[in-house]
Each structure stands twice: as C-alpha cells, then as structure tokens.
Amino acid sequence: MASASLSAEDLASLRQLVDAYADSVDRRDRGALLALFTDDAEVRVQTEDGPVEQSWRGEQIGDLLDTVAGYHRTFHHVGGALFDLADGGAATGRAHCLAHHYDRSRSGPTDLVMMIRYHDRFACDDDGRWRMTSRQVIVDWTELHSAHSVRR
C-alpha cells in the first residue's frame, strides 16, 4: 500500500512519470526520456540479485533507446505501480510492465514480450517536480509469439 505521507498529487505525479518513461521509449524520444531523470541518475538492467547486464548514467540514459531501435515498434504497458516516501523526502516505487517488441523478421512478424519489474527511486526538486534518480529494470521472463500485421 502507498505511504500516507505522499499526497494524492505526489502519487499522481509519480505515476505520470512512470507512464511517461514507457511513452518516451515507445516514441524513441530521447529528449523526453532524459527529462524524466536527474542529471546524475542511473538505469541498470539486471536480474534482481544478479550482475548488471547493461547500465547508463546521466546523458547516456538516452542511449538505452538503442536497445529498442532494431524493433519496428514497441508497446510498454505499465500497471501495478506502488510508491512510498523514503528518507530525505525522496520516494521509491515498484511497477510491473508488459513490454511488447514487434519485429518484421524474414520468417514473419514476431512479438517478443517481456515481463518487467521496475524498482525506482525518485527525488522532488525545489519546484515540486519529481524525477527519477535510479531505475532497476528486472526482466523476469520473456515469450516469443507470432504476430499478425494490421494493414490499413
């Protein structure tokens, strides 16, 4: 359950921040992505307790878009987000994400689905704007499916 110490406005802002991350990745919008993080933030991909597989810090966070650039389209659906107040006025969050990666391969279109958990830390600046200070991306499992293109 979310901490009573976070206001309804804070909770809405944090949820919007998590959703904006998914949107900026799906649109491949580097500027929008970087605006969600503090200047010294870090994003790392790893199993929950395992070694870091990929990591980006500061301006390099925009380079994480290279990991989805090879896909024709992506769709990140975020759900189950919970937020708590942390020491020093910071906040922590956990969210689930189903990330679809649509690809047009030689053998036909495919959808690589990843079940992801995000573990986040947030800071609020003097203007009351929340931004991410760290994001741990945990991929719990993947599935590969045939996909069907919708032509209009």
pTM of the model: 0.90
Which CATH number fits the domain that encloses residue 141?
Answer: 3.10.450.50
Q: Give the per-residue pLDDT at 89.
A: 83
Enclosing domain of residue 37 = 8-146
58-61's contacts with Cβ under 8 Å and 24+ in sequence apart are 59/34, 61/33, 61/34, 61/37
- Two structure tokens written together for 39: 């200047």
Residues 6+ away with beta carbon under 8 Å from 151: none
CA atoms within 13 A on the CB side of 53: 12
Other C-beta atoms closer than 10 Å to the C-beta of 10 total 19
Cβ atoms of 92 and 124 within 8 Å: the answer is no
- Is 35 strand, coil or helix? coil
Quick one: residue 128, left, alpha or beta (phi over 0 = left, psi -120 to 50 = alpha)?
Answer: left
Is residue 3 in a domain? no
How would residue 46 be classed by pLDDT, with cut points 50, 70 and 90? confident
pLDDT 10s digits, 11-29 = 999 999 999 999 999 999 9
Among residues of the chain, what percentage have pLDDT more than 90?
81
Report CA torsion sign: 130, 85, 24, 56. positive
Instruction: Report the C-alpha gap between 24 and 32 in whole angstroms.
Output: 6
pLDDT at 2 exceeding the cut of 50: no
User: Structural domain tally of the chain?
Assistant: 1
Q: Give the per-residue pLDDT at 88.
A: 84
Is residue 27 in a domain? yes
Among 18-22, 48-52, 120-124, 139-143, the minimum mean pLDDT is found in 48-52
Instruction: Report the C-alpha gap between 110 and 113 in whole angstroms.
Output: 10
Q: Per-residue pLDDT averaged across 79-100, rounded?
A: 94
Is residue 72 in a domain? yes
pLDDT 10s digits, 99-136 = 999 998 888 899 999 999 999 999 999 888 999 999 99
